[in-house]
Amino acid sequence: MRVAVIGAGSWGTAVSWLLAGKGVDVALWAREPEIAEGINAEHRNPIYLKDVALGRSVFASPDMERVLHGAEAVVVVTPSHGVRGTSELMKPYLAGDVPIVNLAKGIEEGTSMRMTQVIEDVVGGRQRLAALSGPNHAEEVSKGVPSATVIAANDDEVGRMFQELFMAPSFRVYTNTDIVGVELSGASKNVIAVAAGMSDGLGYGDNTKATLMTRGLAEMSRLGRHLGANPLTYMGLAGMGDLIATCTSQHSRNRALGQWVAEGGTVDGYAEETQMVAEGARSAISVYALAQSVGIELPIAHQVQAVLYEGADPMSSADLLMGRSARDELHGMDLIED
């Protein structure tokens, strides 16, 4: 099988390693020519996951037409803010029936679209689209550390095809019909992870982080339920699983961004220092805007946005959250439809 992987960052590199290990021919699109040249010459990404040896069935190119030629499936692994532009680059060379799975986690600013909606808006073909999400740090997946994920698709056959494509001895793949919940989980948990990092930066302990994660999951579920997601999706890999990994791991860019800011840094300073994208920085804007547009209250996301972009003091934001009026724990969380 020939698969096009669109994006040669850490996750794109890990996915290419995973698929090549199964004997798949991988055409990897790298925006930077030097990355493509390094992969083709040394079978390693010269910038991301440098220690990961890629199989010889992986070739890389900055030429989108060449990468998509003959592809039987497409895996989109760009940062969320680049999905629309990348889709526009793909459109002239993309066959109309080729299945596409998106791995980017975010909500588009301005449109409040989920990533599969963005791709559909550009290239069409709703039934061929799927999303993959879960507790999947690229650094661990690329080392064969046992991991699991979930594939959500608009068509069951497409979901099963991608399940079979990604399933490996160290990478277990489940399916879920709730593409709305899976995608919203992936975007909104990044915002909670930034808050968890701020907690670390302020020197708070396990009690605080556990509280943030639990109440963050409640926020995520409230928003998802209102938008048609299955609340039980948030108890699974794309929800709780990814939330745990992103809030606690030293690999997590979003947790690290929160800690960086709480210790006096800025969003721009973090990006410049690490040369990495923390999706939670953008999702803090887009997820909160989406919630406001449908009248859902997200107090943690609100405070994360205030700290990142409005100059709010992290300690003062923590005090505001702790000082909110008392509520029933399951407020807005009932599973019975009105």
Backbone φ and ψ for 28, nearest 5 degrees, come out as -105, 120
Q: What is the pTM of this model?
A: 0.93
Residue 102 pLDDT exceeds 90: yes
Known active-site residue 189: yes
Range of weakest confidence among 51-60, 240-249, 299-308, 318-327: 318-327
The tokens describing 101, both together, are 């799975």
Cβ(255)–Cβ(247) below 8 Å: yes
- CA–CA dist 305, 148 (Å, integer): 30
Residue 334 pLDDT exceeds 60: no
Q: For position 338, what pLDDT does the model report?
A: 33
Catalytic pick from 22, 50, 105, 189? 189
Mean pLDDT over 263-288 rounds to 89
Tens-place pLDDT, residues 114-163: 999 999 999 999 999 999 999 999 999 999 999 999 999 999 999 999 99
